[in-house]
């Protein structure tokens, strides 16, 4: 019976070529297209005006959607409004009740309520 070493395929013979010569040629770098000065921001970066109810939490200045969500989360954490047993649930205070329209809201449906209070 043949041993494992006898069954193994013979190793390829080493060559004197340097490894760099074997490597694939480097791809030419593509020039990065610069954005035009008057380029329109995408939907997530477009500044939106908050309603008066939402403005009481995030301020009245126009903000991008991501900034609004960040400021609402700052408010929630500052005022300890997350349910201690279920951190995904937000317990609304008086200001957030005006935005959410109810006493409790999951973090996943929060964006739906925020969208109703943002105008372009």
- Tell me what pLDDT residue 56 has: 93
Looking at domain 49-119, which of 3.40.50.1220, 1.10.10.10, 1.20.140.10, 1.10.245.10 is its CATH number? 1.10.245.10
Indicate whether this model's pTM tops 0.85.
no
* Mean pLDDT for the chain overall: 80
- Tell me what pLDDT residue 44 has: 73
Residue 44: CB partners within 8 Å, gap ≥ 6?
64, 65, 66
Mean pLDDT by 10 residues, the chain (120 residues): 59 58 55 56 83 93 92 94 94 93 92 91
- Tell me what pLDDT residue 17 has: 56
- Domain ranges for the chain, please list them: 49-119
Instruction: Tell which phi-psi region holds residue 35, choosing left (phi > 0), alpha (psi between -120 and 50) or beta.
Output: beta
Are residues 71 and 55 in contact, defined by beta-carbon separation less than 8 angstroms?
Answer: no
């Amino acid at each position: 019976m043949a041993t494992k070493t006898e069954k193994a395929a013979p190793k390829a013979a080493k060559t004197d070529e340097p490894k760099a010569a074997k490597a694939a040629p480097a791809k030419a770098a593509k020039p990065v297209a610069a954005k035009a000065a008057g380029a329109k921001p995408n939907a997530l970066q477009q500044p939106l005006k908050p309603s008066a109810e939402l403005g009481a939490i995030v301020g009245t200045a126009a903000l991008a959607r991501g900034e609004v969500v960040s400021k609402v989360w700052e408010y929630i954490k500052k005022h300890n409004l997350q349910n201690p047993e279920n951190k995904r649930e937000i317990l609304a205070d008086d200001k957030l009740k005006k935005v959410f329209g109810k006493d409790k809201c999951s973090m996943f449906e929060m964006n739906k309520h925020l969208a109703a209070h943002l105008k372009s």
